[in-house]
Chains A and B, each alone.
Chain A
Amino acid sequence: MKLEFQLNGKAVQTEIQADTLLLDLVRSLGCLSVKRGCETSNCGLCTVMVEGKPVLSCSVLAARVQGKRVFTLEGLQEEAEEAGRYLAQEGGEQCGYCSPGFLMNVLAMERELTDPDEDQIKEYLAGNLCRCSGYMSQLRAVKKYLNRKGEKGC
């Protein structure tokens, strides 16, 4: 079947199967930052934004994004670099395999929550598993990133 949607700001027309998952579609369209870490919707590696909301692309039918705006990290490179640099400066990316999905959700959190505290940050990002870091460096990085303009004075 035919699918038209916006991927990273560009109109895309493509052919899909009825049961194609968004994850497989965006990877086939070259957005290889989107990873699959499980088959049970648990890991968060495949996080993309649909209409600005973070979703698990492994659990979204591609057909459902008809007419919608989808963003992967490929389309948010400047933000990825900026947020990602905070992570890199903590050494927190480690193997990097979960980084794109994690950063997608960090960017989504920034759009959705105003001035989140530590507990809110942790809860919002809880669906992003990471096996390398023990999460502390990610938390340090996110706090510094959110406070990059220095409003919090810490």
Chain B
Amino acid sequence: MFVPVGSEQDFPSDSTLLLPAISVGNVGQLAIDLIISTLNIPKVGYFYTDCLVPMVGNNPYETNEENAKELCTNAEVYALPSQKLAVLQLRSLVIKKKSKSFRQALVSWIKRCAFARVILLSSCHAYHRDDKQLFGTPFRYLVTPALQKSVADVLRELEWKEMEKVSSYPELNDNEKKLFIPGGGFTKAFYNDCCLEDLQMAVVLKFCSEGDNVPDAFSLLNQVNEWLHLVEPTNGDVKWKSPRSWRLLFGSGLPPAIF
């Protein structure tokens, strides 16, 4: 359920919604953090749901002493109406067995807000790549039939690769193929839901492994930016701004006595 921060506000028609999948290395979530932090997008509401593990903390995008004190929750919506951009950030895991109802809640909210495009940022286990996928770009995309027509030319121009389907019964029967996104969390199921609901939705994902996934987030975002032009590059480079909350990603300082 969407609960606005102040008074109820509508998203402008033909807005784009960006959201992360909770997937390997949390790459989608890190990339969304970078977007909110770089564009300094204000919070407009909460996605209040029983499907995510509750968590709270202080404002992850603090820039001064005053805004550092704002409480943040597990699922929040940020929006820049001038750029027709809405961003949903998810900060905790989907509770087991609630994946379906979470996706249903997302789909019905997307329909109610009438977003023109929905872009899911995701990742997929690198060790599941087949021989062909080992070479070339680590990025893949998927678009729903409803979006296919309007973006096919752009994506062809960008030379993006569509996520390959794999055989359901390898070496026995290569005719029957299915989508396989291991480590992608709800990516595949949400994509299928959007196809069924005729929503204009795209997935952009990167093959990666668990570890320090900050570089993966930067590269995924650069890839997305080539298409969506969220931030115009200066001298061919985009300066993404890491939020303050990314400090201490690998724990506290070490006791000086060990040296």
Task: State yes or no: do A and B come from one complex.
Answer: no
